[in-house]
Amino acid sequence: KDRLLRLEAALASKDAGNEGHMRTISELQSKLEDVNTQLVLERQKGEKLALENFKLQYRIVHLVRAIREADLK
């Protein structure tokens, strides 16, 4: 009977420890999801900036070409 009580007590303490681990895992998963969401947003910002940079470079090339053509006239 004493052995059974000790086993039940040991099991109860393990369950309490497992609950703590499960809570920690849940918190870490939540943080990971938040970071992944931020990563997606930052990638989208980077893509928009790259596109804007390409457009500006295109405009600069054409403006320089127009200035050179005007200087030749």
Sign of CA dihedral 23, 24, 28, 29: negative
Sign of CA dihedral 60, 66, 68, 70: negative
Site of tokens 């969401």: 37
**pLDDT of amino acid 60:** 98
User: pLDDT 10s digit of each residue in the chain, 73 long?
Assistant: 788 888 887 777 776 667 777 888 899 999 999 999 999 999 999 999 999 999 999 999 999 999 999 998 7
CA distance 21 to 1: 30
**pLDDT of amino acid 26:** 92
pTM for the whole structure: 0.60
CA distance 38 to 49: 16
